[in-house]
Amino acid sequence: MQFSKLNRTGAENVFRTVLNVEGATITTGLPVSLANTSNDGVSAVISNAAADHAGFLGVAVADIPNNDYGRVQISGWVDSILLSHVGTSLTINALDPLVPSPSGFFSAAPTYANSGFKWLIASNVPAAVSASAYASGLIKMV
């Protein structure tokens, strides 16, 4: 784990290293979950299915190639959060909770079923989302 201490230029953040076993690249801003098929504490997948959400860990801070290691932010201020596109315009407001969804994050009330009780608070959101877009926010650590 890597801890970034509070200073005059940034917030406290916590990161951890995971092994991508998704079968595809985990891109920046996607929700990451500890693999639901292996409990080794290192193997991770994109949190894009109901079975993955309970193991939601955090947000990929950079692209993680398949079968390679990369960093996931598990607490603190997150610069890039991929918002899910749903094919129609929707509004996500600042301070709305964001939880993992099939293609990024979506605004919904967090439950154990969709977030493992870990969730993000949206900030710097676009005016409306009809295609994939990025926001920033604060990830709550359980």
The domains of the chain are located at 2-139
Q: State if pTM tops 0.75.
A: yes
**Look-up: residue for tokens 């784990």?**
1
pLDDT of residue 7: 66
Helices (H) then strands (E): counts for the chain: 2, 10
pLDDT of residue 28: 95
Give the start-end residues of each E strand in the chain: 2-4, 13-20, 31-34, 43-46, 56-60, 69-83, 97-101, 104-107, 120-123, 133-139
pLDDT of residue 86: 61
pLDDT of residue 129: 61
Phi-psi map region of 30: left, alpha, beta (phi>0 left; psi -120 to 50 alpha): beta
pLDDT of residue 131: 62
pLDDT digits (tens, 9 = 90+) for 19-36: 999 999 999 999 999 977
Low-confidence ranges of the chain (pLDDT < 50): none
